[in-house]
Structure 1
Amino acid sequence: MHEAAPTRRTFTVASYNIHKGVGTDRRRDPGRILNVLNEVGADVVCLQEADLRFGTRASVLPRFMIESHTDYVPVPLDVQHDSMGWHGNAILVRQGIAVEHHDIIHIPCLEPRGVVTATLGLGDAGLTVFGMHLDLSGLWRVRQARAIATLADAARSARPTVLMGDLNEWRAAAGCFREFGRHFALLDPGPSFPSRRPLGRLDRILHCERLRVEDCGVHRSALAAAASDHLPVWARFAPA
């Protein structure tokens, strides 16, 4: 647990598929990923592909590097000893933000998939965050979105709620968007994949009616274009 941060009227969240730390030059460089996170400067970050896929599924970003190179700490998901995430999904919070609750969620899947969630002492009324990486199959994405949206809808009755991650959706009006759209507003920060010449709007952020979006976008820099095959997306919120 961390001491509660002072209440603030606005906060920034970000989502970033870090491609297991492997950049467009095919080098695995966790320090480069951390430098991109410092460029973005969000209060809360949901990561995808944050763990290696095989073996012990060790974290791509060693905890000592996170804490020595950034102002972030990982939300402790308590899954595997060497992992930071759950099926590659992880949450980082800026030091001083209280983590009041955290959990992992099993969802219907064809490939190994999961969702991570945390309740944070951030904003006027606290914040619940869901981080996800949806399936490549459209049918399974719809099933996953339905399950996640149902859980997040229950969470928003208690506090403001944000969902974010790599939805793996190329279409503008897909079934998974319809499922989420029953309860949440879907932001379109812009194209974020592939990082050098982004075309796909795969990385998305969603929010409930208790939050007002002040701005959102894709973080573009020379470093971000090299660090992963995705660019980070971000959104700044205030109470509605």
Structure 2
Amino acid sequence: MQKKSPSLRASIISSLRQRRNRAGTLSGIAGERLSGTLVASYNVHKCVGVDGRFDPERIARVIAEIGPDVIALQEADKRFGEREGLLDLAWLEQETGLVPVPLGNASRAHGWRGNVVLFRRGIVQDVHQVSLPGLEPRGALVVDLDLESGAALRLVAAHFGLLRRSRSQQARRLIEIMQSRDERPTLLLGDLNEWRLGERSSLKELGPAFGRLPVPVPSFPSGLPLLALDRIIANRPEILSDVEVHDTPLARTASDHLPIKAYVDPGLQSLALPESAETDAATASEATHAMLSERPLPLPEALSGDTGERRNRELVRKAGVRLKRAVSRTLRRREPPSR
């Protein structure tokens, strides 16, 4: 039976206790790998650490620590202007074997609106770049990936907005896309920016496709993780292990988010590719990569022009302030006495 999601306050108190209990220990080093396909999600905060230093190499070393087979990154490109990519992809490929899902565009960005999916070995069968509704320029990558292990997965790598209404709209948009495509085991990975739990959470919109959401794992802020802003969710919960936070000294400094990770069991029948599909995939690898192109699914923007941009930024700034206040209020509350 799936565990019931705790209240926000209970989740934060549990996180504080767990962190106190594991003080001085390291978790999540690549040498401790379990069996299965390791998937991860990491908001790299435009490669700026909690010390205020821009250091792409430090982010790359955290990714190498994790040792993932597939990882979804958020904020891997500059947010404004040409959205130039910030990571050294050549170093990552050399040191970890990870390469980005090809998007087939001429942009200098690594991904789509800051979202990047890196994978180690496999065949990209399809990819779509999705524009998400809301006041901020948010997006998602929908990738159909056949892994070398034999797993056939759909990955939805997303970064939701700071406004609750926008997050609800964005969740509904992803559900619409999933329902309009061929059925595949699907993982939703990314920074979903939702700290509320239960009925107040905008993520309840994901229910039609994902059912009851797994117990959240706090990953933000990285120095003292209290809020589960980052998520890995499966539409078939049986394929996914418990989600864990990758909490190491380097990860606590490299970004304001800690990475999260989980294992997909490639031995499950629900993930297996049909034999004909395996044969086709083996012969179509190069052609598939060459054919992939930017195929955004745009939605109309709520506002346009300089006035709209200024208003959008002000709303986002206020949402960030509310997030900080939510953390402060929760920390000021005392744990109720046991009975």
Is TM-score (shorter-chain normalized) higher than 0.5? Answer: yes
Equivalent of 1:12, from 38, 54, 62?
38
Equivalent of 1:224, from 251, 261, 267?
251
Alignment of 1:194-233 (within 5 A): 194-209=221-236, 211-233=238-260
The count of corresponding residues between Structure 1 and Structure 2 is 230
Greater fraction of residues in strand: 1
User: Which residue number corresponds to residue 90 of structure 1?
Assistant: 116
| Corresponding residue SS for 1:128 | strand
Change (3 A) 1:54 1:106: closer
Alignment of 1:78-227 (within 5 A): 78-94=104-120, 96-122=121-147, 123-155=149-181, 157-173=182-198, 174-185=200-211, 186-209=213-236, 211-227=238-254
Task: Quote the offset at 1:38 in angstroms.
Answer: 1.3
Distance in 1, Cα, partners of 2:237 & 2:49: 37
Task: Quote the offset at 1:62 in angstroms.
Answer: 2.8
Determine which structure has more spread, i.e. the larger CA radius of gyration. 2
Change (3 A) 1:191 1:210: closer
| Corresponding residue SS for 1:142 | helix
CA contact (8 A) 2:57 2:88 kept: no
Task: Quote the offset at 1:108 in angstroms.
Answer: 1.0
User: Residue by residue, what CA displacement relative to the aligned partner does 1:40-86 show, whole Å, maximum 9, x if unpaired?
Assistant: 12211111001012232111113222223321001112345210111
Change (3 A) 1:188 1:60: farther
CA contact (8 A) 1:188 1:204 kept: no
**Unmatched segments (≥5 aa) in structure 1:** 1-8
Distance in 2, Cα, partners of 1:25 & 1:159: 41
| Corresponding residue SS for 1:182 | helix
Greater fraction of residues in helix: 2
User: Which residue number corresponds to residue 20 of structure 2?
Assistant: none
**Unmatched segments (≥5 aa) in structure 2:** 1-34, 271-339
CA contact (8 A) 1:189 1:218 kept: no
Task: Quote the offset at 1:181 in angstroms.
Answer: 1.8
Task: Quote the offset at 1:211 in angstroms.
Answer: 4.3
Distance in 1, Cα, partners of 2:68 & 2:180: 26
| Corresponding residue SS for 1:183 | helix
| Corresponding residue SS for 2:113 | coil
CA contact (8 A) 1:187 1:204 kept: no
Task: Quote the offset at 1:205 in angstroms.
Answer: 1.0
User: % of aligned pairs identical?
Assistant: 43
| Corresponding residue SS for 1:225 | helix
| Corresponding residue SS for 1:171 | coil
Change (3 A) 1:37 1:194: same
CA contact (8 A) 1:188 1:205 kept: no
Task: Quote the offset at 1:92 in angstroms.
Answer: 0.4
